[in-house]
Structure 1
Amino acid sequence: MKLVVQVKLLPTPGQAAALDATLHACNEAASWVSEVAFGRGVKRNFALREHTYAEIKQRWGLGAQAAQHVIKKTCDAYTALKANLKAGNLGQPWSKRYRRATEEPITFRPEGAQPYDDRMLSWQITDRTISIWTLSGRMKGVAFTASPEQLARLALYRKGESDLLYRDGMWFLQATCEIPVTEPNADPDGFLGIDLGIVNIATTSDGEIMAGRELNRGRLRERTLRTKLQKKNTPSAKRRLKKRRRKEARRAKDINHKIAKHVVAEAERTGRGIALENLTGIRERVRLRKPQRATHSSWSFAQLGAFIAYKARRAGVPVVHVDPAYTSRTCAECGYIDRANRVSQSWFACRSCGFVDHADRNSSRNIRARAERLWRRGAKSTAPDSPPKIGRGSGRERSATPSGARCANPPL
Structure 2
Amino acid sequence: MKLVVQVKLTPDAVQAPAIERTLHAANEAANWVSSVAFDRFGLKGSVRELRKLCYGELKAHGFGAQAAQHVIKRVADAYTTLRAGIKADNLGPEHSKRRRRAESKPIVFRPDAAHTFDDRYLSWNYDAQRVSIWTLDGRLKNVQFACSPGTLKQLAEHRKGETDLIERDGKLFLLATIDMPEPEVFEPKGFIGVDRGINNLATTSDGDNHSGRRLGRYRRWQARKKAEIQAKQTRSAKQLLKKRARREARHATHINHKVSKTVVAVAQRTGRGIALEELRGIRERVTVPRDQRARQSSWPFHQLGAFIAYKAKRAVPFVEVDPAYTSQRCPRCGHTERANRRTRDHFHCRRCGLAGPADHVAGANIATRGATAWVFVNMPDPVPAQRGGR
What TM-score results when the alignment is normalised by the length of structure 2?
0.92
Structure 1: any 5+ residue segments left out of the alignment? 382-412
Q: Which residue of 1 aligns with 2:277?
A: 277
Q: What's the Cα RMSD here?
A: 1.8
SS at 1:237 equivalent: helix
Are 1:374 and 2:373 counterparts?
A: yes
Q: Which residue of 2 aligns with 1:183?
A: 184
SS at 2:231 equivalent: helix
- Post-superposition Cα deviations, 1:92-140, rounded to whole Å, max 9, x if no partner, equal 1111110111121111111111111111112222222221111110112
Deviation, structure 1 residue 50: 1.5
Amino-acid identity (%): 55
Within 5 A, what are the aligned runs for 1:62-101? 62-101=63-102
Give the direction of change, closer, same or farther, for the CA distance of 1:160–1:375 in structure 2 (3 Å limit): closer
What count of residue pairs does the alignment treat as equivalent?
377
Q: Which residue of 1 aligns with 2:113?
A: 112
Equivalent AA in structure 2 for residue 282 of structure 1: I
Q: Which residue of 2 aligns with 1:143?
A: 144
Equivalent AA in structure 1 for residue 92 of structure 2: G
Using the alignment, how far apart are the partners of 1:99 and 1:257 within structure 2? 37
SS at 2:14 equivalent: helix
Deviation, structure 1 residue 57: 0.8
Using the alignment, how far apart are the partners of 1:38 and 1:238 within structure 2? 30
Within 5 A, what are the aligned runs for 1:295-314? 295-314=295-314
Using the alignment, how far apart are the partners of 1:176 and 1:287 within structure 2? 38
Are 1:43 and 2:42 counterparts?
A: no
Q: Which residue of 2 aligns with 1:238?
A: 238
Using the alignment, how far apart are the partners of 2:8 and 2:74 within structure 1? 23
Deviation, structure 1 residue 198: 0.7
SS at 1:13 equivalent: coil
Using the alignment, how far apart are the partners of 1:76 and 1:184 within structure 2? 35
Give the direction of change, closer, same or farther, for the CA distance of 1:375–1:3 in structure 2 (3 Å limit): closer
Using the alignment, how far apart are the partners of 1:204 and 1:354 within structure 2? 22
Equivalent AA in structure 2 for residue 198 of structure 1: I
Deviation, structure 1 residue 245: 2.4
- Post-superposition Cα deviations, 1:373-392, rounded to whole Å, max 9, x if no partner, equal 3333x1369xxxxxxxxxxx
**Which range moves more in the overlay, 103-112 or 339-348?**
339-348
Structure 2: any 5+ residue segments left out of the alignment? 380-390
Using the alignment, how far apart are the partners of 1:362 and 1:207 within structure 2? 9
Deviation, structure 1 residue 161: 0.9
Using the alignment, how far apart are the partners of 2:133 and 2:155 within structure 1? 17
Give the direction of change, closer, same or farther, for the CA distance of 1:320–1:380 in structure 2 (3 Å limit): farther
Q: Which residue of 1 aligns with 2:170?
A: 169
Are 1:340 and 2:342 counterparts?
A: no
SS at 2:257 equivalent: helix
Q: Which residue of 2 aligns with 1:329?
A: 328
Using the alignment, how far apart are the partners of 1:160 and 1:374 within structure 2? 34
**Which range moves more in the overlay, 228-237 or 146-155?**
228-237
Deviation, structure 1 residue 239: 3.9
**Which range moves more in the overlay, 192-201 or 225-234?**
225-234
Equivalent AA in structure 2 for residue 379 of structure 1: V
What TM-score results when the alignment is normalised by the length of structure 1?
0.87
Using the alignment, how far apart are the partners of 1:301 and 1:350 within structure 2? 28
Q: Which residue of 2 aligns with 1:207?
A: 207
Deviation, structure 1 residue 236: 4.3
Are 1:159 and 2:160 counterparts?
A: yes
